[in-house]
Amino acid sequence: MWDALQNAAWVTTLGTTRWLYGLVLVVHYSALFLCVGTILLLDLRILGVANRNQPLSPLARQFRLWTWVGFGAAVVSGFLLFATKARLYAEVTPFRVKILIIVLAVIAALAVEWSVPKWDRARVIPVTATLLALISIVLWLGAILAAVEIPALTGLG
């Protein structure tokens, strides 16, 4: 399955066309900055570190579209990058760990997003909100660190 993906004509073109591969990389990194950046800003607001005077719900609404547009672009561009060496990436543990961490981080981001209206009505940010925001930050930083280490540990990337 991975070999068929990796050897598809469009994937070969992507992998061998330097400017096209570079463009996908730029899109991927930009999308990650947008997605993770907006998530971290909301998490930091929950922790009381950033923008303390703005209620959570309006802030979350302002970020929601940008977060998920960034996430969608990161998934698509990440898949394109993965496809160029699909079999190799699929076989290495650090890549699998990265994907697992990302899945957990997305679950944490969704839990925060779904809980914001309830937390916004509370007089004080609940401890569960603080814990979830911290977990979210740790997971996203973990995903970034795992991604950075893939080339060092496997020679891929």
Q: Give the model's pLDDT for residue 8.
A: 92
Tokens representing 38 are 């907006």
Token reading at 101: 């961490």
| 3-class secondary structure, 55 | coil
Q: How confident is the model at residue 150 (pLDDT cuts 50, 70, 90)?
A: confident
Per-residue pLDDT of 63-105, as tens digits, reads 999 999 999 999 999 999 999 999 988 988 889 999 999 999 9
pLDDT-based confidence at 148, cuts 50/70/90?
confident
Amino acid sitting at position 107? I
How far apart are alpha carbons 69 and 6 in whole angstroms?
26
**Token code pair at residue 19:** 């400017």
